[in-house]
Amino acid sequence: MASRLRFGALSVAVATLVLSANCSLRRLERELVAPRQLITTNAESPYLKAHLKNGFVYVLSDWHADSAAAVIVGTGQLLDINRAVVDTGRFRVPLDSVALFETNVLHGSGATIALTVMAGITAGVAAVCLTNTKACFGSCPTFYIEGSTQLAAEGFSASIAPALEATDLDMLARARPRGRDFTLRLTNEALETHVIRWADLIVAPRPSGGRVFVTPDGRFLNATALTAPSRCTAAEGDCLAAVARLDGQERSTTADSTDLATRETIELEAVVPDSGDWGVVMTARQSLLTTFLIYQSLAYMGQDAGRFLAALGTMGPSARAQAAGLGRTLGRIDVLVPDDSGWIVAGSVGETGPLAADTKIVPLPMRRGGAQAQKIRLRMTKGLWRIDYVALARLGKPVATQRLQPARVRRDGRDDPAAWRALRDSALVLATLPGDVYQLTYRLPPHPERYEIFLEARGYYLEWMRREWFAEQNSGLALGLFLDPAASLRRLAPAYKQVEPDIERLFWSSRYAKP
Amino acid sequence: MPSRSALPAAWISALLAMACAANPAPEGFLPTRVQAQTMAYGGWIELMVDSANSRKQQRVEGELLAVTADSVWMLSTQGARVIATGSVKEGRLTAYQSQTGAITGWTALGVLSTASNGVVLILTAPLWIITGTIAGINESHAPVRDVPGQRWEDLAAFARFPHGMPAGVALQSLKPRN
């Protein structure tokens, strides 16, 4: 936080400097004027040089033309042909002794304007982050596939304290290994300390023409005959184009303006060719609503945030469950299917985190029979989820997987044996700070293209407190978030709706990278 | 080897060095823009003149005393001389100091300040370098007047005697600026 504040202050300082540069970085406009034209010439000029016919020159300030007397009146010096001072004082210079007048005016230069605009842009971006700290980038560890700038996974987003250390399994759905060495870039792009116990790959052989997906309870299943829905309807109308392909085009909506826990539904229909075991494959991530709420919670805790989060470690399971009440109230994406009595929940997907979408599969209780149109309803908190892809898939057998630890760990292009040891020994941890980047290289089995790749990361992270948050410290409201999350989500709705239109832009523009 | 923080300045300096107009005048001769409002000396002029005795061109330079369409009066440490403009292949007048150094400094500081922009520095840092480089190049050329390009009479505004050599002034009585 301190460094961001320092950099923010630096930006403001640059802006000030550049603005002050206006004074010294100016364009000089010099004009020569015949004596009889002086009356109409540039009176803006603070100084007037009167070049006499004999080569002498008056340099006058506080000057004016007395047209009636045909003289120029001003204070200054008379200089000879070698520019030595001949006389000083207040002068009345007859126009007929003057060969030429010279005026000089300083104007703002193009260079100053350009630098001022740049300083304004820089300070503006920095100020956005300083004044909208709840919209600034917060991420937990982020993972990129080497050579790609597209985020592949984020690790344990809900683990904001040591007591909440957790294991997170993400499918690297877009991984296309080109050889047996597969490298992930592990980054810390937020004002956070990340504590990573491990970051292993789980690889599973793909079935012919199919893929392997993991269920919310961690079972790896073969999946074939992926079938896109034939219909998708939400409150805004047809949503089929957004969810039919895994293409980054997501279906999302805004939060309710009176209650952040308000639910919405999406109705899907897909024709499955036969009976059997089918499941719903879904790729989704959260919106920035959760980020806002986590930061708001920390702001309410203020100076006591550290103490509270540390105390979580000594609390009993019931107290810890109470602390997770906000997340439970927001909920996940429930997958419902019709049965004789109405709709039943087949399962729920969705993990905390607004950055990388994760893919999971929810097995469905299917009716027996031939080809049928399967109706599916997705129920979720409005404005909380962004869904990229939904499909049905025929489920196969559970798959035997293989765990791969990093074979090599590099930092700034050099091997880092200490980090390598830390990530291979679960008794040790790798701690990273803002701007840190590591390359984790794994050795895949032969024919790596035949494998599905998942990332399993375990750890927790510590959010750095922002000074601006302390102003909102309110233990009563902090307690309310845990004791009565539903009421808190209603109370915070107006505040979130105020930042919601810009929160995405502010968030991504505040990602931390070392210069 | 430059330190990390000095790198932006080094980069910008290198870029500017490639495209900027150099300051040819002796150190301390040229006034700043603010000083130029009150100082009454001429700017610094360099001329490439056809030599009468050989095919080679001769380079002469000094303070611009006066200029007309057919003659240039200048004053160097060797004394004052008048040169026919017809014998001049090309000339360059530098009227005052440019502030390229200041722009380089501000640009370097601007590049460093983009550290506060998070990932947006990918855009703002190069933008600072591009803007600063263009501004620096423009700034370095602002005090310069070239002939050909401009007419000889256009240089008069930055001569010691913009109205022409005063009648009765002996060239040998003129002293260069200390």
Q: Which residues in chain B touch residue A111, judged by CB atoms under 8 angstroms apart? A: 99, 103, 135-136, 138-139
Q: Do B113 and A47 touch (CB under 8 A)?
A: no
A-facing residues of B in 96-135 (CB < 8 A) are 96, 99, 102-103, 106-107, 109-110, 112-122, 124-125, 127-128, 131-132, 134-135
Which two tokens mark B84? 């026919």
C-alpha A357/C-alpha A294 separation (Å) is 19
B contacts of A51 (beta carbons < 8 Å): 161-163
Across the interface, whether the CB atoms of B103 and A115 are under 8 A apart is answered: yes
pLDDT of B38-70, one tens digit each? 999 999 999 998 876 667 788 899 999 999 989
Q: Does any CB of chain A come closer than 8 Å to the CB of residue B86?
A: no
Q: Per-residue DSSP letters for A373-400? A: EEEEEEEEETTTEEEEEEEEEEEEEE--
Task: Give the pLDDT confidence of A42-58 residue by residue, as tens digits.
Answer: 567 889 999 999 999 99
Strands, E assignment, A192-253: 192-205, 211-214, 220-227, 231-234, 237-238
**Partners of residue B162 in chain A, C-beta under 8 Å:** 32, 51, 100, 102
- Nearest beta carbon to residue A82 from set B109, B167, B175: B175
Min Cα separation A292/chain B (Å): 19
The answer, yes or no, to whether residue B20 has pLDDT greater than 50, is yes
Contacts of A342 (CB under 8 A, 6+ apart): none
**Residues forming a β-bridge with A227:** A392
Alpha helical stretches, state H, A245-354: 289-301, 305-311, 317-323, 325-330
What's the burial of B1, exposed, middle or buried (CB within 10 Å: 0-12/13-18/19+)?
Answer: exposed
Per-residue pLDDT, A203: 96
Nearest C-alpha of chain B: how many angstroms from A82? 6
Question: Residue B17 — pLDDT band, cuts 50, 70, 90?
Answer: low
Instruction: Give the torsion sign (CA, B64, B68, B69, B73).
Output: negative
Residue A180 distance to chain B (closest CA, Å): 31
* ipTM of the complex in this document: 0.84
What is the rounded CA–CA span in Å between residue B25 and residue B63? 9
pLDDT beneath 70: ranges in chain A = 1-25, 38-43, 127-139, 312-313, 315-316, 319-320, 366-371, 465-470, 508-515
Percent of chain B at pLDDT exceeding 90: 28
Interface-testing mutation among A3, A7, A54, A122, with chain B (most B C-beta atoms within 10 A): A122
Question: A342-349 and A263-272: which strand pairing?
Answer: unpaired
Residue A220, helix vs strand vs coil: strand
Contact list, A124 vs chain B (CB under 8 Å): none
CB contact under 8 A, A53 and B167: yes
The pLDDT of residue A143: 93
Question: Is the CB of residue A223 less than 8 Å from the CB of residue A210?
Answer: yes
Position A395 scores a pLDDT of 93
Distance of CA A175 to the CA centre of its chain: 23
Tell me whether residues B118 and A118 touch, CB distance under 8 A: no
DSSP B27: T
Q: Taking a contact as any Cβ pair under 8 Å apart, which residues of chain A between 279 and 308 contact chain B?
A: none
> How many beta-carbon contacts under 8 Å exist across A and B?
176
On the question of a cis peptide bond just before residue A406, with omega within 30 degrees of 0, the verdict is: no
Nearest CA to A278 among A167, A448, A396? A396
Q: Which of B16, B75, B113, B139 to mutate to test the interface with A (most CBs of A within 10 A)?
A: B113
Q: Which residues of B touch A7 (CB under 8 A)?
A: 113, 115-116
Total-model pTM:
0.56
Mutate which of B12, B41, B93, B117 to test chain A, going by most A C-beta atoms within 10 A? B117
Dihedral angle computed from the Cα positions of residues A472, A475, A477 and A481, in that order, rounded to the nearest 10 degrees: 110
A contacts of B32 (beta carbons < 8 Å)? 24
**Residue B33: pLDDT over 50:** yes
Q: How far is A259 from chain B (nearest CA, A)?
A: 32
A466 touches chain B (CB under 8 A): no
List the Cα angle A343/A386/A192 in 5-degree steps. Answer: 125
Q: Say what the pLDDT of residue A370 is.
A: 60
Closest CA to A336 of A365, A312, A359, A311: A365
Residue B2, pLDDT score: 40
What the block records as the tokens of A216 is 């919310």
Token pair for A505: 């832009």
Beta bridge partners of A186: A143, A438
Question: What was the pLDDT predicted at A78?
Answer: 95
Q: Which residues contact A462 (CB under 8 A, 6 or more apart)?
A: A160, A161, A192, A193, A195, A309
Chain A residues closer than 8 Å to B36 by CB: 28, 30, 104
Interface of A with B in 83-112 (CB under 8 A): 83, 99-100, 102, 104, 106, 109-111
CA distance A445 to A401: 11
Decide if B109 and A14 are in contact by the 8 Å CB cutoff: yes
Among chain A residues, CA nearest to B156:
A32
